[in-house]
């Protein structure tokens, strides 16, 4: 797995736990320290912990990857997981706003995840196809109607 795939995998795992304001920055042309920053916001300590666990456990389970180093905790409202080529920052909104990593790395392009192609339902494929319309006889309600009284005609 290359560093971009790893960054997008981290983003997807954080998204599994409803992390907010997910951003992946490509810093390859700006830094020799790492290739990508992944940033995610959690709304509470339990939410930060859930995001952290999902990212770390998911990478270990699915790709046999462990961070080189982790720093911080949900209690401190900022967790950093260093995967060498990718550094994951999981922060509360106030800590993220205070340190403004995106502002510090404003020259770094954001990496957009590729959306999976949606399957088109067969009904949507039949563009212009309309359900058949049954014409009612003039002066009478359609068959099967509860009201079989005569319908006034124009």
For residue 154, pLDDT beyond 80: no
Q: What is the pLDDT of residue 117?
A: 47
Tell whether 72 is covered by a domain.
yes
79 is a domain residue: yes
pLDDT in tens, 87-130: 999 999 999 999 999 999 999 999 998 765 454 454 444 455 45
Q: Say if 135 falls within a structural domain.
A: no
- Tens digit of each residue's pLDDT (9 = 90 or more) over 62-81: 999 999 999 999 999 999 99
Contact 10, 88 (CB under 8 A): yes
DSSP string, 110-134: BPPPPPPPPPPPHHHHSTT-----P
Q: Answer whether 87's CB lies under 8 Å from 36's CB.
A: yes
Phi, psi of 31 (to 5 degrees): -140, 145
pLDDT tens column, 124-142: 444 554 554 544 445 555 5
Element (H, E) at 105: none
Could you tell me if residue 52 is inside a domain? yes
| In-domain check, residue 28 | yes
Cα dihedral sign, 48-81-26-16: negative
Domains: count for the chain: 1
- pTM as predicted: 0.73
In the chain, what is the greatest distance between 2 CA atoms, to the nearest angstrom? 84
Contact 7, 36 (CB under 8 A): yes
Rounded CA-CA distance 72/130 in Å is 59
| Domain membership flag for residue 120 | no
Tens-digit pLDDT profile for residues 6-29: 999 999 999 999 999 999 999 999
Q: Tell me the residue range of the domain where 30 lies.
A: 3-104
pLDDT at residue 48 above 80? yes
Q: What CATH number corresponds to the domain at position 8?
A: 3.30.460.10
Q: What is the DSSP letter of 78?
A: E
The runs of H, that is alpha helices, within 26-92 are 45-63
């Amino acid at each position: 797995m290359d560093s971009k795939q790893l960054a997008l995998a981290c983003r997807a795992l954080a998204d599994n736990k409803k992390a907010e304001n997910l951003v992946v920055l490509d810093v390859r042309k700006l830094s020799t320290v790492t290739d990508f920053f992944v940033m995610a916001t959690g709304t509470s300590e339990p939410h930060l912990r859930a995001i952290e666990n999902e990212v770390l456990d998911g990478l270990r389970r699915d790709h046999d990857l462990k961070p080189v180093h982790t720093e911080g905790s949900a209690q401190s409202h900022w967790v950093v997981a260093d995967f060498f080529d990718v550094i994951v920052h999981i922060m509360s909104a106030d800590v993220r706003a205070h340190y403004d990593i995106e502002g510090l790395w404003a020259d770094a392009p954001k990496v957009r995840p590729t959306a999976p192609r949606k399957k088109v339902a067969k009904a949507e494929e039949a563009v212009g196809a309309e359900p058949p319309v049954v014409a009612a006889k003039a002066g009478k309600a359609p068959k099967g109607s509860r009201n079989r009284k005569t319908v006034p005609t124009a």
